[in-house]
Amino acid sequence: MIIELNQNYLKISDQRDLLIKVQSPEVHLDYEVSTDTRVIIINDTTKDLHLKESGFVTGGAELLIAYLDLNQGKTFYEADIKADKDSSLKIISKYLCSDQKKADLKYTCLKERSSIDIDNSAIVLDDASLELSCTGIIDKGAKRAKNHQSSRCLTVGKPKTAKIEPILLIDEDDVEASHSLSSGTIDEDVLFYMNTKGIDYNAAMRLFISSYLTLDERLLKDYPSIQDEIRKKVEQCLM
């Protein structure tokens, strides 16, 4: 199901497979999930946006949230989502920063055998800024819980700020937890190689960034037209 979200609040509480295209400048998504649920959120507006997520995953369910931010305005994204006993949360977020973006994300393992996996990717363009704080939490009593996160950041030109802060807060011994962070610039050798194959610098840059930001086709298998739409939006942002 595709939702053009013009309202400020949406509660997601039953079994759903949703693709949400954000239209409102202020959005609160509230999850109360007890069956496997997949939510894809695409933010490609040109206006400033405040996006808030909150909620729980219970009953041994898995909640997958894939977030793609192509917004050309300012974005403030905050999340506070918790996984209960035997439940899992998978987060995939991708950001194309052409203005100011700030994210404050918290994902908590509440009880035993809960699992959280976070994958953040960002490209920060010339004169843009990104400040992303991502906190993985394991509460006391959440034995055999898993909380892992990885983040990657590429810069293009001279961004104002490109800051990603991975945090782990662990209050239990019998757990698995990790975080990783990599940052850098686009490999000029790759761009040169593409140039030798007849692809000019600007086209190679657009192709490289588009491939970095594109969501896995398995996530969009039910929405075949969306992938092409995403590629066109990425190219528009880079023109």
136-161 pLDDT, tens digit each: 999 999 999 999 999 999 888 888 88
44 occurs within a structural domain: yes
Spatial separation of the C-alpha atoms in residues 172 and 142, rounded to whole Å = 7
Q: Is pLDDT at 76 greater than 90 in this prediction?
A: yes
Buried b (16+ CB within 10 A) or exposed e, 4-29: ebeeeebebeeeeebbbbbbbeebbb
Q: How confident is the model at residue 239 (pLDDT cuts 50, 70, 90)?
A: low
Question: What's the pTM value of the predicted model, to 2 decimals?
Answer: 0.89
Q: Is residue 236 part of a domain?
A: no
Angstrom distances, CA of residue 56 to CA of 27, 34, 93, 140, 166:
18, 9, 19, 17, 22
User: What is the rounded average pLDDT of the residues 184-206?
Assistant: 80
In this predicted structure, the answer to whether residue 90 has a pLDDT above a threshold of 70 is yes
| Strands across the sheet containing 176-185 | 2-5, 17-22, 37-43, 62-69, 88-97, 115-124, 146-155, 176-185
Which carries the bigger pLDDT value, residue 234 or residue 133? 133
Q: What is the dihedral of CA 24, 47, 98, 55, to 10 degrees?
A: -20
Over the stretch 15-65, which tens digit does the pLDDT of each residue have? 688 888 888 888 999 999 999 999 999 888 888 999 999 999 999 999 999
* Amino acid (one-letter) located at 68: L
Is residue 92 domain-resident? yes
pLDDT band at 7, cuts 50/70/90? confident
Q: Whose CA is closest to 54, among 75, 29, 35? A: 29
Whether 202 is in a domain gets the answer no
Confidence of residue 192 (pLDDT cuts 50, 70, 90): confident
Residue 86 in any domain: the answer is: yes
Confidence at residue 238, expressed as pLDDT on a 0 to 100 scale = 63
**Residue 217: pLDDT band by 50, 70, 90 thresholds?**
low
Question: How far is the C-alpha of 137 from the C-alpha of 109, rounded, in Å?
Answer: 6
- Its domain, for residue 54, covers 2-185
Q: Supply the pLDDT for residue 237.
A: 64
Residue 78 lies in a domain: yes
65 is a domain residue: yes
- Asked if residue 123 lies in contact with residue 154, where contact means CB atoms within 8 angstroms, the answer is yes
- Mean pLDDT, range 78-95, rounded to an integer: 95
Tell whether 173 is covered by a domain. yes
Structural domains in the chain (count): 1
> Who contacts 46 (Cβ-Cβ below 8 Å, separation ≥6)?
71, 72, 73
DSSP 3-state percent helix, strand, coil across the chain (nearest 5):
15, 50, 30
